[in-house]
Copies of this chain bind each other. A is one copy, B any other.
Amino acid sequence: MEQGAEVLLKPLSECQIAIVGIGLMGGSLAGALQGACHQVVGVDRDEVAIRVAQDRGYIQWGTTSLADGVREADVVVLATPVRAIIELLREIGAYLKPGALLMDLGSTKAHILKAMAALPPDVEPLGGHPMCGKEVSGIKAADPTLFQGRTFILSPLERTSSQALALGRALARGVGAQPLVVSGHRQDFLVATLSHLPYLLACALVSTADATTSADPFAWQIVAGGFRDTSRVAGSDVTMMVDILMTNREEVVKAARVCQTKLEQLVSLVEAGDEDGLREVLSYIRETRREMYP
């Protein structure tokens, strides 16, 4: 309550919101916030991104200057790749107005929350991670409906006031998402299996096809929906994914090691021609998936 008691946070509808990084996620958030807040300011090093966002009506105005863009903002959202967020956190504290809510949209939280803890005491930090994405990047792929019905993870720090968390919840709901408060450590553990591991598997699959079937000109004529879906996330932005993998290494490697064991079990059953064993394992897996997506 140290900061919250001094500076009462405005309701979302009266907030000026600055979004730093007007790419797929930032641009989509800006567009989704139109009508839910007072105004949205776009901050990006790329003037073209600002112009596109403005042309689409996603932002009221934009600037390439971080200081100018966030100075008057009640809420600042960092929407760059994870390690760019961490760099921004080193610099941005000096520009923010007292009581400002500072959020991010980064996919891993351990390093970001650590950097947020070092912010000036009159800033309200709050980790954020909307569970959505696309295998395309950049403002041109932005879509204000991206967050509709998705879970928006909020990871408060100990110092985060209840008003700041409430404003974060309002922002998540304002873009059509469901806020869910999850600690940074727990979210990093969960997304390692549920988000980062699928990426590695998709990449391994594409890499395999490249090494085996891609020499056959028929390969891409017969490729079916299973391959397309299983490999989709291999098209994700590489800078974003390298940042994610490098800042969630321990959890990602742990999840991957479990997966490698599970894959080896399956391949061994096929190799041994153990039909009954295979049927049993595959039936259990099918039921498990059906419980996940009823």
Contacts and interface: CB of A to CB of B under 8 A. Distances in A.
Contacts of A267: 200, 253, 256-257, 260
A91 to B, nearest CB: 22
A153 B223 CA distance: 11
Contacts of A292: 206, 209, 220, 223, 231
B279 A238 contact: yes
A208 interface: yes
Interface residues of A, number: 93
Contact of A282 (B191, B230, B241): B241
A286 B238 contact: yes
Nearest to A183: B218
A178 B222 CA distance: 10
A230 B259 contact: no
Interface in A222-253: 222-236, 238-239, 241-242, 245-246, 249, 252-253
A61 interface: no
Nearest to A223: B194
A210 B258 CA distance: 11
Interface in A254-294: 254-260, 262-267, 270-271, 273, 275, 278-279, 281-283, 285-286, 288-290, 292-293
B203 A198 contact: no
A190 interface: yes
A32 B211 CA distance: 36
Contact of A199 (B150, B200, B226, B254): B226
Contacts of A260: 260, 263-264, 267
Given A198-B205, A224-B133, A228-B293, A285 B234 contact: yes
23 contacts: A131-B222, A132-B224, A178-B221, A189-B213, A190-B222, A193-B208, A194-B222, A198-B226, A200-B266, A204-B259, A206-B292, A207-B262, A207-B265, A207-B266, A207-B285, A208-B262, A214-B288, A231-B289, A235-B289, A238-B279, A246-B278, A257-B267, A263-B263
